[in-house]
């Protein structure tokens, strides 16, 4: 909503609620503090205004750049399968789907990559948009650095290949790797094992005989090395997309349609068959939500697959938050409710009740914007339902339906009714109850029918969600303190110097006296790090890497009121031999008088060092 308000100021009615979809890649290593419902604010120490400001400004800037570069062009579509890049992390739940339905598919995860290629009228590439179902959790829960994970690495590789001579995030070609029905799709393709014994975890509840849930950890293709796991899965996604991009020949032609509705997801009546109806529920999370997944388990003694409550935890819940109402418990069965978030409204609602459903069609391609994480079979069902509805009206033939995940607002997971009965993490996190998927299918069928009949503008708008002002939101994160430094040093001064020489494949490292990165504010057009190469012919230092580069890592370590920044350059085998240096840019806060403070910029630079090729 913040983004749309900014766009309205700039462009009037051009970019609207119905024709703008914001879809997250779902990296688990991003900024926190931007989602304005209480449950999410608690986990990020409240509402962090600089976080949402940076995100909104970045999105709006990207749309500004796209708007300035609008030109006539063509769109092509290509499809193919990608193996060895995702694994179903809840196969027991998947097996609860009807056998005749499962038999229609050869895998318990979606392997399909769907790609749109964008060119100008001369055939020169402008960008591509690719969908593939896999969680962006190759960087595991121990990671403390901002990362765009496997999807971001795929984007990085393709953009670097297409934008020769440009730094990351620059250049005309845009490679977008989007999420799809990734709810149960993990990149940790070696599967879950007990870390202390090496034996497989319990199939039903993903725990270990010794150590319980926390010992059950799924491993990626490189084992426990999260950087190489990210690199391998990202490279797989990149290579398949590059191949499909080169083969894209099917031109996408036809009219554009956009449909949008607000829906109160706590009160949808679902027509299950000719004689029976069901309904959605007020939001609630089950006990297995606290168990986490094999991609990252919880810290307490919860397990996946819990269909009964625990007297100990239920007692604590009742004492601290209040017991769920009988109505909500009955609605969510067989889920044992841990947090009845739909009945918790202090200081603000804990979960959204009103969410949006949205669909855009470009010729025969229908993009279904899902406000959550659909499991594999949930995505298949909604694709099938939307395709059927579009083609039933006769205005679409051979419709290609794409599930775009995590769009516009976040509502946790969406399992099938059958998967919900098992109550693993995904089912426990399906917050609107067992008929959530059926409700979405019903609503998206309505959008598809309206588009097929050309009546999308006649759709009821629906009840709008609340828009929380900054004054209504809380923050538990104190302002960053005044920065201090060791005696007789300056900010940006080197504490640990680089070595004089390195060989490609080595890691160059330097540590600086640093300020708190929070004092640097919005870093959209800036960087904390540059790696620079000296050119003898021009006597000029050329920036070859920034903090957006895969090859660089920026570690900030706080020691009381003082802090250090250690910068690593993982020198790639492709690096040219020559002289290099590493620079660090930042800001520090100091007192100005008794009550006032001021934020000042600083920079530091390492010694020059040589890089040589392997002989």
Residues designated as active site: 186
Strand, helix or coil for residue 197: coil
- Which residues, in sequence order, are CB contacts of 72 under 8 Å at separation 6+? 120, 121
31 φ, ψ to 5°? Answer: -70, 155
| 144: nearest Cα among 505, 566, 509, 530 | 566
- C-alpha 7/C-alpha 13 separation (Å) is 9
Handedness of CA 461, 465, 466, 469 (dihedral sign): negative
d(CA 258, CA 359): 6
Q: Is 400 helix (H, G, I), strand (E, B) or coil?
A: strand
Vertex 178: Cα angle to 105 and 124 (nearest 5): 110
Q: What are the two backbone dihedrals, phi and then psi, of residue 426, each rounded to the nearest 5 degrees?
A: -65, -40
Question: What residues are paired with 80 via a beta bridge?
Answer: 113
Q: How far apart are CA 17 and CA 35, in angstroms?
A: 18
| Structural tokens at position 467 | 């828009």
β-bridge pairing 501-503 and 609-612: parallel
| 8 Å CB contact between 123 and 206 | no
Beta carbons of 390 and 452 less than 8 angstroms apart: yes
394: left (phi over 0), alpha (psi -120 to 50) or beta: left
Distance, in Å, from the CA atom of 259 to the CA atom of 447, rounded to the nearest integer, reads: 6
> What contacts 403, CB < 8 A, 6 or more positions away?
131, 133, 180, 181, 368, 370, 374, 379, 382, 383
- Look up residue 554 and give its DSSP letter: E
């Amino acid at each position: 909503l913040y983004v749309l308000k900014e766009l309205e100021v700039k462009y009037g009615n051009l970019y609207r609620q119905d024709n703008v979809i914001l879809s997250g890649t779902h990296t688990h290593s991003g900024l926190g503090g931007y989602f304005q419902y209480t449950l999410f604010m608690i986990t990020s120490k409240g509402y962090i205004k600089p976080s949402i400001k940076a995100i909104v400004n970045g999105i709006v800037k990207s749309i500004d750049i796209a708007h300035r570069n609008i030109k006539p062009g063509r769109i092509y579509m290509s499809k193919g399968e990608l193996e060895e890049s995702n694994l179903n992390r809840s196969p027991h739940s998947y097996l609860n789907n009807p056998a005749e339905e499962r038999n229609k598919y050869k895998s318990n995860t979606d392997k399909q990559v769907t790609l749109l290629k964008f060119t100008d009228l001369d055939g020169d590439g402008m960008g591509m948009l690719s969908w593939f179902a896999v969680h962006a959790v190759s960087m595991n829960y121990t990671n403390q650095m901002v990362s765009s994970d496997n999807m971001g690495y795929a984007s990085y590789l393709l953009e670097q290949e297409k934008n020769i001579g440009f730094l990351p995030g620059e250049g005309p070609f845009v490679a977008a790797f989007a999420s799809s029905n990734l709810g149960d799709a993990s990149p940790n393709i070696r599967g879950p094992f007990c870390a202390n014994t090496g034996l497989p975890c319990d199939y039903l509840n993903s725990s270990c005989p010794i150590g319980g849930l926390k010992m059950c950890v799924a491993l990626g293709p490189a084992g426990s090395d999260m950087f190489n796991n990210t690199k391998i899965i990202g490279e797989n996604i990149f290579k398949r997309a590059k191949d499909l991009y080169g083969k894209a020949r099917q031109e996408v032609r036809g009219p554009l349609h956009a449909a949008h509705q607000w829906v109160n997801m706590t009160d949808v009546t679902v027509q299950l068959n000719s004689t029976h109806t069901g309904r959605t529920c007020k939001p609630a999370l089950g006990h297995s939500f606290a168990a986490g997944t094999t991609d990252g388990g919880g810290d307490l003694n919860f397990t996946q697959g819990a269909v009964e409550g625990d007297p100990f935890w239920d007692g604590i819940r009742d004492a601290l938050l209040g017991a769920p109402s009988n109505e909500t418990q009955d609605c969510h069965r067989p889920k044992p409710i841990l947090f009845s978030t739909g009945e918790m409204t202090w200081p603000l609602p804990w979960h959204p009740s009103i969410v949006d459903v949205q669909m855009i069609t470009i010729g025969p391609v229908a993009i279904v914007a899902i406000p959550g994480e659909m499991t594999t079979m949930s995505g298949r069902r909604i694709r099938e339902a939307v395709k059927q509805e579009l083609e039933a009206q006769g205005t679409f033939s051979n419709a290609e339906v794409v599930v775009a995940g995590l769009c516009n607002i976040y509502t946790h997971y969406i399992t099938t009714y059958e998967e919900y009965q098992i109550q693993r993490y995904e089912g426990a996190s399906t917050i609107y109850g067992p008929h959530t998927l059926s409700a979405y299918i019903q609503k998206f069928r309505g959008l598809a029918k309206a588009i097929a009949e050309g009546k999308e503008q006649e759709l009821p708008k629906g009840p709008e969600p609340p828009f929380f002002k900054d004054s209504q939101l809380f923050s538990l994160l104190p302002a960053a303190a005044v920065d201090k430094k060791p005696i007789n040093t300056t900010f940006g001064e080197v504490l640990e110097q680089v070595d004089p020489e390195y060989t490609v494949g080595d890691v160059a490292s330097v540590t600086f006296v640093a300020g708190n990165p929070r004092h640097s504010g919005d870093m959209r057009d800036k960087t904390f790090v540059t790696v620079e190469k000296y050119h003898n012919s021009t006597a000029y230092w050329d920036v070859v890497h920034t903090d957006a580069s895969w090859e660089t890592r920026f570690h900030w370590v706080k020691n009381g009121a003082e802090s250090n920044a250690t910068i690593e350059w993982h020198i790639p085998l492709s690096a040219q031999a020559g002289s290099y240096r590493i620079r660090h840019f930042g800001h520090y806060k100091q007192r100005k008088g008794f009550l006032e403070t001021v934020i000042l910029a600083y920079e530091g630079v390492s010694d020059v060092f040589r890089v040589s090729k392997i002989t």
